[in-house]
A and B are shown apart, each in its own frame.
Chain A
Amino acid sequence: AQRVTQPEKLLSVFKGAPVELKCNYSYSGSPELFWYVQYSRQRLQLLLRHISRESIKGFTADLNKGETSFHLKKPFAQEEDSAMYYCALSGGGTSYGKLTFGQGTILTVHP
């Protein structure tokens, strides 16, 4: 079974402060991990994926297989980063393509 846990439902920071959204997963094989974001009144969209090792809008995420974590980080938060963030996992084998999401974290960046 595959599972994704985001322990924080709400996260508030001030503009310019560092931000870290936590994500832990449970999966027996080699997963693909993603972060999706939903801005107010917009559709859910891909933010980044671990295999790309890219930085999008200043956000990065490193897959830590030892700790089974994929935390999302940004050194200096901006007001426009306020949104709902979902961590997601895609497994292999018979569950290939099945994308499992966490509960989501609402990030609010205050001016």
Chain B
Amino acid sequence: DVKVTQSSRYLVKRTGEKVFLECVQDMDHENMFWYRQDPGLGLRLIYFSYDVKMKEKGDIPEGYSVSREKKERFSLILESASTNQTSMYLCASRDRGAGNTIYFGEGSWLTVV
């Protein structure tokens, strides 16, 4: 079974803090993604990574950065958290050999106060 693990399920951070959201997958997938999920807006792509040390901006990259130093780990970084970044963050990885199927983590609820 593919496993995508987001280490923090619930976080509360203060405005201006630097926030790290970690994601690990155990299936040697090359592609990994970060989305945020907001009511009425669906899932919006923040960043994705084709492979180690490779990253591409998604649709809403402003205020975020990412790191992919190892194949299994994809980190999302909020350099200076703001209240409008309060959201559910979903990490995903993709199996290129299985019809483009994407597997999601359970999500990280981030509240910025």
Contacts and interface: CB of A to CB of B under 8 A. Distances in A.
B is a partner of A = yes
A43 B42 CA distance: 14
Interface residues of B, number: 25
A110 interface: no
Given A97-B48, A99-B45, A43 B100 contact: no
Interface of B: 31, 33, 35, 40-45, 48, 50, 56, 58-59, 90, 94, 96, 99-102, 104-107
B105 A43 contact: yes
Contacts of B102: 46, 99
Interface of A: 4, 6, 9, 32, 34, 43-46, 49, 51-52, 86, 88, 90, 97-104
Given A97-B50, A99-B33, A49 B99 contact: yes
Contacts of B44: 101
Contacts of A46: 101-102
Contact of A97 (B31, B40, B90): B31
Greatest chain B CB density within 10 A among A6, A52, A103 is at A103
Contact of A103 (B33, B40, B94): B40
Nearest to A46: B101
B43 A97 contact: no
Given A86-B42, A103-B41, 15 more contacts: A9-B40, A34-B100, A44-B90, A44-B104, A45-B104, A52-B99, A86-B43, A88-B43, A90-B100, A97-B50, A97-B96, A98-B58, A99-B102, A101-B35, A101-B42
